[in-house]
A and B are shown apart, each in its own frame.
Chain A
């Protein structure tokens, strides 16, 4: 079995250890004897996204994000085509915003996104940062538990963004916030997903302390070409310990800031 992974703009969107997500996906697949092919795709490069099983895009600094926005407007249609063909897409923070419809700056200017998700983002004053705990969407929880029977129903991570993201119809948040600000600090939702496309503000990196979520991506990515796959169980004691430590600390804290 092969898993073909595309890391979009790893040279530009490279903040907050998000590349760790790619490492987690690749390692967890390799530990199960799956052959991983990883490719980097950056500015000016044309690829057929349908050739991959999974596309990852992280977040970056303002300057880099500007460069990416222009390039992504050309790649956008192909990325949407791939998403419609069932390629799994995981986007984080800046990447998540760029896959939406638009980003409205503080001055009211609208920077167009590629519109993969029916979401839009507005610049905010206060930076929303801190640890996050959410109860994952029941449908995702059921799927994660089919893969790993003991999987927690929660996701943990760290957020750091000034954009406020609002979801349109048809897009669902990844889950309900127990601690943290999430998409916009108002509606208790965090992230977005529709079919195989996922977006979130969670760093940490996201998949490092949520191994059950990582396996969901691997399963979905493989199922497009191999049908229903079952993954051999791994010893996740360290990952789950990190998950529990983060969760328990957040549940104990009053404001969810610790």
Chain B
């Protein structure tokens, strides 16, 4: 497939025109940024934001200037799934023949975005790619959207995450609404199943929704019965009485069994009444409606049905409920994709090497975004089948001859999805769970108690090694979640914890880590340094 000639379609804006004084500052900023990036590489420092940070000091309008040069800027924001969704979009666009600039390392605040764009330009500040795919931190949408002015904004979901940084969800969704209101002509691609996200679409001109259809709701994916949001308190209190009336610690009687899964936004964003649900997928994602004001889940333009996951693959049928005319071929009226054919209610089978039901939403969001951009379904299908997961998104390594899966955990809903995926596999397993409390992890680790660690109180789990700065906090949480204390070890040091893990008699290994631990574990596992017989991994590096 031919790529669009980069020179032929430029954004209309006059943002590229910079005053002579600014040109100098731009050149200086680019030079300095690149120098810092070079030094970072030299000293093997990750340096995902530092070059951007430096360059922004010299030329604060750097992102605004560079982003203006792309044909299209695509932004992905939300709580969970940003990295996977953005990486999928970038991957598909590359496969479709575009040159793509992308902050793939998850450095998603303004300096990280600046660093990614710096990498994409030469010493004279000329960008080389046609499209920018930017993952944007949900707390940074104000700054980043104002500077990068995205044409397409994809929103994944809003869960409770790092409350000490973003306080509460109302504030986070408010930030997005405000940022979007300053982007005339923007197209939104929103998760119809998340009432907090879908509410952002009200009053917007160009909105496309994606969602998972009901038949996947109560399927055989999980045994969990959907709970009506409004049935009493949504908690199964009788469960607790049984759990605790026994004489000793009973496995499986965890916090979620007692209190129900953590769900956000159970109240209508418009009138404040409790929402009723026809079904739940996970968290607050599902088919909801408000009995008071009539607000309900918007009908998805892109719908996934017949979701199957297992054996390291995820597949579903993608139905597209829009006529071709309503597609905003954002990549210009170029005939690259003239063979798209009429969409109508076309169905496409989509399959990707991803694990975990939650990835349905990431794959679906990415599909919705690229089809909206004008990529053909055939290109989409072919591209996603060759996708490799990003660092720590169920990334696979080998440790002591066994499969070792690395996964990021950072908030209750995300952690629950990972824990379920771990439990699903039938093999016996040993885990390292590494919890840090640095700024990027969230200083407050009380979120552990809103996750459902009782999922690990399972005979197939033979050992859990608690690691990181908050190893002891996690150990306590596991104990009260019903995990046998004989299986719990506290080993705060990272390399030490992996050594211990590699000695466990288990069919497979998992490492679940918060953000600041993730890259250390990825590096250790990739180098294969931990144990002699663990082969070095031939996987792509972080940059």
A→B interface (CB under 8 Å): 10-11, 14-20, 23-24, 26-27, 29-31, 33, 35-40, 42, 61-64, 67, 127, 129-131, 158, 160, 203-205, 208-209, 235, 238-239, 241-242, 245-246
Contact = CB atoms under 8 A, between A and B. Distances in A.
A20 B267 contact: no
B480 A204 contact: no
Contact of A238 (B167, B262, B447, B485): B485
A61 B168 contact: yes
B356 to A, nearest CB: 23
A3 B248 CA distance: 16
A246 B435 CA distance: 14
Given A36-B240, A38-B244, 7 more contacts: A17-B450, A20-B446, A23-B255, A38-B240, A160-B444, A203-B444, A209-B473
B449 A40 contact: no
A127 B473 CA distance: 24
A40 B241 CA distance: 12
Given A19-B259, A26-B244, A62-B170, A38 B450 contact: no
B164 interface: yes
A126 to B, nearest CB: 13
A129 B443 contact: yes
B136 interface: no
A129 B163 CA distance: 11
Nearest to B272: A63
A61 B170 contact: yes
B235 A20 contact: no
Contacts of A158: 443-446
Interface in B464-495: 472-473, 475-477, 479-480, 485, 488, 490
B531 interface: no
Contacts of A29: 244
Dominant SS at the B interface? helix
Interface string B445-468: 111111000000000000000000
B233 interface: yes
B238 to A, nearest CB: 10
B245 A10 contact: no
Nearest to A26: B244
20 contacts: A10-B233, A11-B234, A14-B259, A17-B446, A19-B259, A20-B449, A24-B480, A30-B247, A39-B237, A64-B267, A131-B443, A158-B443, A160-B163, A204-B446, A204-B473, A209-B473, A235-B485, A239-B476, A239-B479, A246-B472
Q: How large is the interface on B (under 10, 10 to 19, 20 to 34, 35 or more residues)?
A: 35 or more
Nearest to B247: A33
Contacts of A209: 473, 476
B259 A205 contact: no
B246 A245 contact: no
B164 A129 contact: yes
Interface in B136-192: 160, 163-164, 167-170
A20 B244 contact: no
Nearest to A24: B480
A63 B267 contact: yes
A40 B235 contact: yes
A247 B479 CA distance: 21
Nearest to A28: B480
B473 A17 contact: no
Contact of A35 (B232, B245, B473): B245
Contact of B490 (A26, A64, A238): A238
Contact of B449 (A10, A208, A242): A208
Interface of B: 160, 163-164, 167-170, 232-235, 237, 240-241, 243-249, 255, 258-259, 262, 266-267, 272, 443-450, 472-473, 475-477, 479-480, 485, 488, 490
A238 B240 contact: no
Nearest to A42: B233
A36 B240 CA distance: 8
Given A17-B448, A208-B477, A242-B475, A160 B272 contact: no
Residue from A17, A36, A42 having most chain B Cβ neighbours under 10 A: A17
Contact of B475 (A64, A204, A238): A238
6 nearest CB pairs, A to B: A17-B449, A20-B449, A17-B446, A242-B472, A30-B244, A61-B168
Given A20-B446, A158-B444, A241-B490, A40 B237 contact: yes
Given A16-B446, A27-B244, A160-B444, A38 B472 contact: no
Residue from A29, A235, A239 having most chain B Cβ neighbours under 10 A: A239
Nearest to B472: A242
A238 B490 CA distance: 9
A24 B258 CA distance: 12
A208 B473 contact: yes
A31 B248 contact: yes
B245 A36 contact: yes
A204 B237 CA distance: 23
B167 A127 contact: yes
Contacts of A35: 244-245
B246 A30 contact: yes
Nearest to A30: B244
Nearest to B245: A35
Contact of B476 (A40, A62, A208): A208
B449 A19 contact: yes
Contacts of A17: 446-450
A20 B449 CA distance: 6
B455 to A, nearest CB: 15
Contacts of A239: 476, 479
A15 B163 contact: yes
Contacts of B472: 238, 241-242, 245-246
A84 B447 CA distance: 34
Nearest to A64: B267
Contacts of A63: 170, 267, 272
A209 B470 CA distance: 12
Given A10-B233, A38-B237, A242-B472, A208 B245 contact: no
A31 B232 CA distance: 29
B480 A61 contact: no
Contact of B488 (A10, A19, A23, A238): A238
Contacts of A10: 233, 235, 259
B271 to A, nearest CB: 12
Nearest to A245: B472
A16 B485 contact: no
A198 B234 CA distance: 27
Contacts of B488: 238
Contacts of A62: 168, 170
Contacts of A129: 164, 443-444
B449 A23 contact: yes
A129 B152 CA distance: 36
A31 B237 contact: no
B464 to A, nearest CB: 12
Nearest to B466: A238
Nearest to B234: A11
Contacts of A30: 243-247
A37 B475 contact: no
B333 to A, nearest CB: 45
A15 B169 CA distance: 11
Nearest to B230: A11
A42 B235 CA distance: 12
Given A20-B446, A40-B233, A208 B259 contact: no
